[in-house]
Amino acid sequence: MTTTKSATSRGSIEMSRVSTENYLKAILRLTETEEAASTTALAKILEVRPAAVTQMIKVLAERGWLTYKPYRGVQLTSEGRARAEEIVRHHRLLERYLCDHLGYSPEEAHREAESLEHHISEAFEARIAELMNDPDTCPHGQPIPPKVDK
Ligand SMILES: [Zn+2]
Ligand SMILES: [Zn+2]
């Protein structure tokens, strides 16, 4: 629980949710090829200082979304992985929707989805998935993770 003034403003809370989701996504991406994600690699992908990564890792570990081992890096817990995959699902469904229905190029759709993925509701996600008959892949050919029932 934080008592700083800035953290209580709506803007900061929103920023921190977006940044939390971007951390989970980056860790998911890195652990597709490596056993654990290093703080150095995360700092590079997320374009933040290593000290900021260390701080965020603590927060995410407290929430039960990842585990951290010194000198080895971070791994997502099953809950953290599920959250990360949900954001990837939003991203790829949005890309598909933007390309197929709004005439975006795959590159434009990617940029737009990077931002929108954090803000759509589950109802919106369900509507576009249904409209497109639950597509399997994004316009870049990457698989769209299935909806997981909670
Ligand atoms: Zn969702
Ligand atoms: Zn894509």
Residues of the chain with CATH 1.10.10.10: 5-76
| pLDDT tens readout for residues 22-35 | 999 999 999 999 99
Ligand 1 geometric centre to CA of 124 (Å): 8
Instruction: Tell whether domain 5-76 is in CATH 3.60.150.10.
Output: no
Beta strands (DSSP E) in 40-116 are 66-69, 73-76
Residue 141, by phi and psi: left (phi above 0), alpha (psi -120 to 50) or beta?
left
Residues of the chain with CATH 1.10.60.10: 87-131
- How many Å apart are CA 36 and CA 45, to the nearest integer? 15
Q: Which ligand is nearest to the CA of 110?
A: 2
The CATH architecture one would assign to domain 87-131 is Orthogonal Bundle (1.10)
| pLDDT tens readout for residues 32-88 | 999 999 999 999 999 999 999 999 999 999 999 999 988 889 999 999 999 999 999
